[in-house]
């Protein structure tokens, strides 16, 4: 896989995590979550909407406002995500492969705290009803992981990320999307790893061209030369990505998105999660400034665009629930207010 030389090598010391009101997180640090304000949002099923889709008027009624006025997705849709999820999960809109029994939306509660060195986050959401039947043998796309929770950070240099959140990385030619290339064509791209049989998330900045309307939509095979990609990574043009997987007692992954999605186990962010009654509770610990390629350096007094995704019912790929763009503020005004402890 490309960028191996740039993958994060930050080692993470093992730390015991408990998930009550006060959670021991790292090096003896205890966060009193009862004193941390709770932000609430509703993740929704996004179907086959993409970076190209949201900018095309025949697909998306808000495309003109998005492009001409600079409106962000949350400004228009934050109060209607559950309704949007119902339309797409049923196949009524932007979904050619509806999953029978899949829920349309997932409420997510978020808390955040920080100190001089570290960001601490706590997520909770209701466990799935497990009545969805995905397109996989035995009804499970990812039999090892009942749930996965992912978080994205934008450092401010990715075009349209502040407006659209994770849609900046989701394209019409990715896995199970309408313009996805056939497996036999995947060798045409240089600079990305397609050996797994599909195209992962990528940023428009990593391509020489992106087709918004003409088929095939996207630009999966138009990868910029490696030297240009290296310069983008060094300059901070990437989305920082961290993910928790519930299988094997819990797996922490950290990485970034640029020419493709790059994730590595135990490379920075550290997660722990478990079910508490009918709720999943997941905590994350992350250095504010790791100094590693692909990590956004977080600063006191600033706010950052973030996005969240949850895979439930053992699903994989794009069959998840996602947030619209949100803001995380470290001592700054934002929907998610991280408090100093």
The 3-class SS string of the chain reads: CCCHHHCCCCCCCCCCCCCCCEEECCCCCEEEHHHCCCEEEEEECCCCCCCCHHHCCCCCCCHHHHHHHCCCHHHHHCCCHHHHHHHHHCCCCCCCCCCCCCCCEEEEEEEEEECCCEEEEEEEEECCCCCCCCCCHHHCCCCCCCCEEEEEEECCCCCCHHHHHHHHHCCCCCCCCCCCCCHHHHHHCCCCCCCCCCCCCCCHHHECCCECCCCCCECCCCECCHHHHHHHHHHCCCEEEEEEECCCCCEEEEEEECCCEEEEECCCCEEEEEEECCEEEEEEEEECCCCCCCCCCCCCCCEEEEEEEEECCCCCCCCCEECCCEEEEECCCCCEEEEEC
State the Cα–Cα distance between residues 169 and 248, nearest whole angstrom. Answer: 28
Total residue length of the chain:
341
Q: Half-sphere exposure of 58 toward its Cβ, with a 13 Å CA cutoff?
A: 3
* Domain residue ranges of the chain, discontinuous segments joined by +: 4-340
Residue 195 Cα to chain centre, angstroms: 22
pLDDT value at position 58?
A: 96
Q: Hey, which residues does 272 pair with through a beta bridge?
A: 283
Protein fold of 4-340: Immunoglobulin-like (2.60.40)
Q: Which residues of the chain have pLDDT under 50?
A: 1-24
State the Cα–Cα distance between residues 243 and 253, nearest whole angstrom. Answer: 5
Cβ contact 321:309 at 8 Å: yes
Main-chain dihedrals φ then ψ at residue 189, nearest 5 degrees: -90, 135
pTM, rounded to two decimals: 0.91
Q: How many CB atoms lie within 10 A of CB 295?
A: 26
Q: How many CB atoms lie within 10 A of CB 198?
A: 17
pLDDT value at position 18?
A: 38
pLDDT value at position 10?
A: 31
> Each residue of 264-295: pLDDT tens digit?
999 899 999 999 999 999 999 999 999 999 99
Q: Which residues contact 20 (CB under 8 A, 6 or more apart)?
A: none
């Amino acid at each position: 896989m490309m960028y191996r030389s740039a993958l994060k090598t930050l080692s993470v010391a093992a730390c015991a995590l408990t998930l009550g009101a006060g959670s021991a997180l790292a090096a003896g640090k205890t966060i009193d979550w009862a004193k941390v304000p709770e932000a609430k949002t509703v993740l929704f099923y996004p179907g086959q909407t993409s970076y190209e889709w949201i900018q095309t008027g025949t697909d998306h009624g808000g495309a003109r406002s998005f492009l001409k006025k600079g409106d962000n997705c949350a400004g228009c849709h934050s109060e209607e995500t559950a309704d949007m999820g119902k339309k797409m999960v049923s196949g009524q809109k932007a979904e050619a492969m509806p999953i029978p029994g899949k829920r349309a939306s997932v409420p997510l509660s978020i808390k955040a705290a920080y100190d001089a060195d570290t960001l601490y986050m706590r997520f909770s959401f209701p466990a799935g009803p497990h009545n969805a039947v995905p397109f996989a043998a035995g009804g499970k796309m990812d039999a090892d992981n009942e749930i996965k929770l992912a978080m994205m950070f934008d450092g401010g240099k990715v075009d349209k990320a502040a407006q659209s959140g994770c849609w900046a990385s989701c394209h019409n030619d990715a896995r199970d999307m309408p313009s996805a290339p056939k497996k036999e064509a995947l060798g045409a791209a240089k600079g990305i790893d397609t050996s797994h049989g599909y195209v992962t998330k990528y940023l428009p900045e990593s391509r020489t061209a992106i087709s918004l309307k003409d088929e095939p939509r996207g630009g999966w095979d138009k990868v910029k030369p490696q030297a240009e990609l290296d310069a983008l990574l060094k300059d901070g043009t990437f989305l920082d990505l961290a993910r928790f997987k519930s299988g094997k007692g819990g797996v922490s992954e950290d990485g970034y998105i640029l020419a493709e999605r790059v994730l590595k186990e135990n490379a920075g962010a550290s997660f722990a999660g478990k079910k508490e009654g009918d709720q999943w509770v997941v905590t994350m610990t992350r250095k504010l400034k790791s100094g590693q390629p692909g990590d956004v350096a977080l600063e006191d007094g600033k706010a950052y665009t973030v996005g969240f995704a949850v895979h439930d019912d053992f699903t994989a790929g794009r069959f998840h629930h996602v947030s619209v763009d949100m803001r995380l503020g470290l001592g700054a005004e934002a929907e998610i207010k991280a408090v100093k402890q």
